[in-house]
Amino acid sequence: MSFLVLEGLTKRYGDHAAVDDIALSVKKGEFVSLLGPSGCGKTTTLQMIAGFVEPTAGSVTLEARNLLAVPAAKRGLGIVFQNYALFPHMTVAENVAFGLEMRSVGKAERQQRVVETLALVGLAGFAERYPAQLSGGQQQRVALARALVIRPGLLLLDEPLSNLDAKLREEMQVELRRIQRTVGITTLMVTHDQAEALALSDRVVLMQAGRIEQEDSPLQAYEHPRTGFVCDFLGKANLFTVDRVDANGLTVGVLALPLPVGASADVRAGDRILVRPEKISFGTPGPGALAARVANRVFQGNHWLYQLQTPLGDALVIRQNDGGACPAEGDHVHLVWRADAMRAVPADARAAPAAVPPSLEGELEVRLMVDLPREDP
């Protein structure tokens, strides 16, 4: 049953549509992420649901109640802001109790619920501290406790983990999921970090330029992206344009490939083939093997990231760090992959030229690539 329904939701600033006619249904207890690059409209959508921005058009319904008719203060949503927005002049306990005070909950019950919620987020014993005395992770938990203690119908998270360092972020991802599952609260999270969205969500909604590009479970969205944008944004992508299709297989440049399987079997000339870097391995020469030269390889701990030059353009390969021999820079190799590793992606209006260079999405990865010196490890 749909718990939260967005229909035709639009926000225009002059001529520019920050959010352009989006429709979304969230089920009770579901964890949905709005994922996309800066400026895609995900934060604006969240703010419209929260009541801080007036939509230009469309409706927001929560449990069949028209949310837009209710002022922000009365919507009863739990919101965790990006910088936590804790009340600096109040202790942790007072911060968490604020929502209950606004609802005229009695002192004894307030105290009990505050203690319970602080225990739930793992901050028992921190009640009398001030926000300035807490670390980033602890402040985040207080913000979460403050939003949860009022037992809202919907929890809105605005890039909750973006201000934490990498290790803490991983820990908090696990914590967040645990808390959400324990409480069973319907959650809508906004993030630009795809790893976070994939890890936490029941469903991922990819947005670009104010529109929804794809909504799917994380695995489905990753394995079966439907547009070029989704391929690029989720994970790394190698996209090759198909020249010809016949009964036996595909012709991609000099490569003769078998037909892809499943839904992707319906591929046409002019479409693109997506092969994820982790699904490519170094193999022996053959008609389906792509000759390549290692331009650069980057060590990333549990895997190597290879950048290769091929007749079809640049390619990326991820090679597990399993202790075996790894090609070095300058080596000539052959890239092979299974037929079922290929996905057909339609050439869209915003298609790049034929040999699409695979993108290096993910700011963390890009930074790593730029910072690491080009030398043999």
Site of interaction with other proteins (CB under 8 A): 50-52, 72-79, 81-83, 85-89, 98-99, 102-103, 130-136, 139, 146, 150
Crossing angle for the helix pair 136-148 and 166-183, to the nearest 10 degrees: 20
The least CB distance from residue 363 to other proteins, in Å, is 21
The least CB distance from residue 300 to other proteins, in Å, is 27
- The strand order across the sheet containing 255-258 reads 244-245, 249-252, 255-258
The least CB distance from residue 19 to other proteins, in Å, is 19
Q: Which helix (H) or strand (E) holds 146?
A: helix 136-148
Whose Cβ is closer to other proteins: residue 25's or residue 163's? 163
Our CA dihedral for 243, 258, 304, 233, rounded to 10 degrees, sits at 60
Q: Helix, strand or coil for residue 221?
A: helix
- Contact between 309 and 295 under an 8 Å Cβ cutoff? The reply is yes
Whose Cβ is closer to other proteins: residue 82's or residue 281's? 82
Whose Cβ is closer to other proteins: residue 89's or residue 244's? 89
Whose Cβ is closer to other proteins: residue 45's or residue 208's? 45
**Cα 61-29-58 angle, rounded to 5 deg:** 20
Whose Cβ is closer to other proteins: residue 114's or residue 316's? 114
The least CB distance from residue 286 to other proteins, in Å, is 55
The least CB distance from residue 132 to other proteins, in Å, is 5
The least CB distance from residue 168 to other proteins, in Å, is 10
The least CB distance from residue 136 to other proteins, in Å, is 4
Longest dimension (CA), the chain: 76
Q: Which two tokens stand for residue 328?
A: 């070095």
> If you ran DSSP here, which 8-state letter would residue 122 be given?
T
Whose Cβ is closer to other proteins: residue 139's or residue 173's? 139
Whose Cβ is closer to other proteins: residue 162's or residue 281's? 162
User: In sequence order, what DSSP letters do the residues of 288-304 get, joined into one string?
Assistant: TPEEEEEEEEEE-SSEE
| Residue of 122, 157, 119, 162 whose CA lies nearest to 138 | 122
